[in-house]
Amino acid sequence: MLAQGLVRCIRARGTHVVALNRTACNVANESDVYRTFMELKPTLLLNCAAYTKVDQAEQEPDLAEAVNGYAVGTLARLAKQYGTALVHYSTDFVFDGTSTRPYRPDDPVNPLSTYGRSKLLGERELQSNAPARWLIIRTAWLYGPGGPSFPQTMVNVARAGKPLSVVADQVGSPTFTHDLADATLELLDRGATGVWHVTNAGQTSWFDFAAATLEEFDLKDAELKPTTSAAWKASRPASATRPAYSVLDTAPYERLVGKPMRPWREALRDFRRAVS
């Protein structure tokens, strides 16, 4: 999903880009990664590979760690060897949600879930094997065309005539893949390194995000009810614990590029246009 957004942005600039799926290069398979570096000798690697099934990760911690964690170390070591700049994407789920203000890039981390811990492992693997130039871009509530996403799920369920029950006490910032792709290139253009937070502007709950999606897709008659994190967890005890508040502070990005990220609701409108 993110890779498709990046390919779109990079090709629009007339720059050569090679996009590899899991069949072409499984990042958890070291021999695949070594072969890819030998064949392509990339100047820039954008690592969009990730295990993103947050709940399923609770039952598959080894696989989540292999893809989100140790594979990033392999990429970093080879990027260092080949002089490749490396961009890796991480998540708001590295935080525990107890903050009362947006999380800054240097705030203490404390993931609550297997998924969050695996993504933090990836951050540390990269930093421990850092190439000459690297970026970790933490983002949140990512959605876009070309893959499964929260708003598309809401639309699919509503169109099937089924009721929706969505958590109303978790707050974050929905982020459109096309905007994150553009922001990535903005950071690279300006020589950025280190850890950055990038999301669309503003914050909302999952419930209000769902309501906005249904409104945008003209599905206002769909049955949508709020629920709590506690009730959701009680009905699905094996599910992952998510942070109650995971808004990311994007001020450093905005200062560097000289403009804010656009509001999440405006981006949602473009998502609707992209998939309609």
- Catalytic residue numbers read 115
Q: How many residues does the chain have?
A: 276
Quote the CA–CA distance of 233 and 251 in Å, as a whole number.
33
Report angle CA 55, 129, 187 to the nearest 5 degrees: 75
Sequence-distant (6+) residues with CB within 8 A of 276 are none
Which amino acid appears at position 245 of this protein?
A: Y
Q: Residue type at 174?
A: P
- Of 207, 141, 196, 149, the C-alpha closest to 174 is 141
Phi, psi of 82 (to 5 degrees): -95, 0
